[in-house]
Amino acid sequence: MPVITNIEDLRVLAKKRVPRMFYDYADSGSWTESTYRANEADFNRILFRQRVAVNMEGRSTRTKMLGQDVAMPVAIAPTGLTGMQHADGEILAARAAKKFGIPFTLSTMSICSIEDIAAATDRHPFWFQLYVMRDRGFIERLIDRAKAANCSALVVTLDLQILGQRHKDLKNGLSAPPKLTIPNILNMMTKPRWCLGMLGTRRHNFGNIFGHVEGIENMGSLSEWTAKQFDPALSWADVEWIKKRWGGKLILKGIQDLEDAELAVNSGADAVIVSNHGGRQLDGAPSSISALPAIVDAVGSRIEVHMDGGIRSGQHVLKAVALGAKGTYIGRAMLYGLGAMGEAGVDAALAIIHKELDLSMAFCGRTDIAKVDKGILLPGSWEHLGARQ
């Protein structure tokens, strides 16, 4: 086993162990992938101010997200098909998040169901991400199931009314479970760990949908239903309806524009996530970190502002917090750990990010994450990020 010291080590190992179509699903963007690359690259343009001869004892990364105590300002992002990166992947990631003391967010398009997560974590509170479908009856049932499972926040994704063109997914013929074509079979034969894991679980389909929609009896009918269900007519009126139906903490994911941020505040949401869907929707959109400061300045005093996209280290988390984010989300970094080593890999990813966050904060002369601000960043290294897009 190689020595794992950073998220890149986990990515390299995951690429060796996860079938091509599912690794590519996690590690790719839409069209030219320019926004996907910018998400991480723009973080790396921001520079820290190193401070010395500062008392670094008694450091704490503990804070709150949506009023919930967290070990660091990081949550696990909702990622579709997580259970195809590793058998029972969503369950393993939820367990890791519970142990570490951060929120886990389950995707509508997960392999393990809402009920699976609740049972595996002894009904420990988790967050649920909702895609708005045309079938409003199904959405009502999903919301009710999330309530029954003790979900403490609902994350509504607003930037996937239609699907961005993702060339690798199209070329690989992405499906869950994978279609048994000759190329897929040959590729899976080189991933024995993955295959053994999948043979040992019954969870191979979209657990939140299969068995919960009338007329879906096999993967063909499920795929046909799913392809037709994302609602291009989604509106702010739907957000208000969801908030009323849910009745609890509501987070809106996919905000990049100042006008949309204002509309999110007016909708009564509790938090927004500055996000471009990991560069998987509108290619050519700004990186999340470059969009963050203006949104924080505009609405951060009225609503909690979070962000996702491009976070591969604790230093990236620290930079986002310095620019005003009250919380961050990791998707790919978690998936790399999961694909590499299952639950132990997610544990490793969280530990790596936390250590990098803690040490970098100390080098910048701060000992409390709640007191981190733009003062830890080198002036001139971040102010014009948005103009570089």
List the binding residues for FMN. Answer: 78-80, 107, 129, 157, 253, 275, 308-312, 331-332
Please indicate whether residue 86 is annotated as part of the active site.
no
d(CA 289, CA 385): 8
d(CA 320, CA 308): 9
> 377 in helix, strand or coil?
strand
Of the residues 86, 277, 306, 354, only one is catalytic, namely 277
Handedness of CA 333, 65, 236, 242 (dihedral sign): positive
Binding residues: 25, 78-80, 107, 129, 131, 157, 166, 253, 275, 277, 280, 308-312, 331-332
DSSP labels, 292-313 = HHHHHHHHTTTSEEEEESS--S
Cα–Cα nearest to 236, from 276, 264, 261: 264
Rounded to whole angstroms, what are the CA distances from 363 to 50, 52, 60, 132?
6, 7, 14, 44
Handedness of CA 255, 21, 12, 6 (dihedral sign): positive
Per the structure block, which two tokens stand in for 82?
């997580």
Please, are residues 258 and 295 in contact by the beta-carbon 8 Å criterion? yes
Please, are residues 143 and 114 in contact by the beta-carbon 8 Å criterion? no
Rounded to whole angstroms, what are the CA distances from 373 to 62, 149, 319?
15, 36, 9
Residue numbers annotated as active site: 277
